[in-house]
Amino acid sequence: AQTVTQSQPEMSVQEAETVTLSCTYDTSESDYYLFWYKQPPSRQMILVIRQEAYKQQNATENRFSVNFQKAAKSFSLKISDSQLGDAAMYFCAYRSAVMDSNYQLIWGAGTKLIIKP
């Protein structure tokens, strides 16, 4: 069974600085997807970024980028120029690409990101 681990329960960063959130996962599959979701106090779950395992190039979305290390099974999220609106819980998630799986997302426990003004 696949597992996702986020070893940092809480992180803090000064506004405008850069922060990196860690995620490791365990799987025997070679084809899968990885995601970072953001959950602000409103509770809404918002997709931040997606990475396909077959792609070597790291995904980027504006100020958000990932460092995907497939051999190490590591998937970290870098937030550049941190803003107050980035304060939230961040969840790392894994999804199998195997056909006829239930396609569920396997989630880490989350990292609470605090932005200091």
Q: Which of 20, 33, 64, 67 binds other proteins (CB under 8 A)?
A: 33
List 50's β-bridge partners, or say none: 35
The answer to whether residues 20 and 78 touch, using CB atoms and an 8 Å cutoff, is yes
Determine if 107 is a binding residue for other proteins (CB under 8 A).
Answer: yes
List 19's β-bridge partners, or say none: 79
Determine if 114 is a binding residue for other proteins (CB under 8 A).
Answer: no
CB of 66 to other proteins, least distance (A): 14
CA atoms within 13 A on the CB side of 92: 29
Length of the chain: 117
Using CB under 8 A, which of the segments 12-20, 45-53, 65-73, 76-84 binds other proteins? 45-53
CA atoms within 13 A on the CB side of 95: 15
Using CB under 8 A, which of the segments 20-28, 55-63, 78-86, 99-107 binds other proteins? 99-107
Which 13-32 positions form the footprint of other proteins (CB under 8 A)? none
Spell out, one character per residue from 48 to 87, where the chain touches other proteins: x when CB under 8 A holds, - when not. --x-x-----------------------------------
Contacts of 83 (CB under 8 A, 6+ apart): 15, 16, 63, 115
